[in-house]
Amino acid sequence: MRAFAFELTLLCLLTSMVFPVALLGAISTGIARHERLALLASAGLALCVAGVWFAIMLY
């Protein structure tokens, strides 16, 4: 179970580096043009936070 939590934490940390960059890109180019990208980035960021919280709870 701990190995799964470690892998989940690693995956969440890697994806949490990508989603804020996508969100900043969407904001800088205008959210109206890239509404789906901003929505995907914010949903992914929320998923990463939930995944990290879940991994911490497993420890």
Q: Is the pTM of this model over 0.85?
A: no
Residue 45 has pLDDT above 60, yes or no: yes
The lowest-confidence range among 3-7, 26-30, 51-55 is 26-30
SS3 annotation, the chain: CHHHHHHHHHHHHHHHHHHHHHHHHHHHHCCCCCHHHHHHHHHHHHHHHHHHHHHHHHC
Give the model's pLDDT for residue 50.
Answer: 74
Give the model's pLDDT for residue 44.
Answer: 72
Across all residues in the chain, what is the average pLDDT? 69
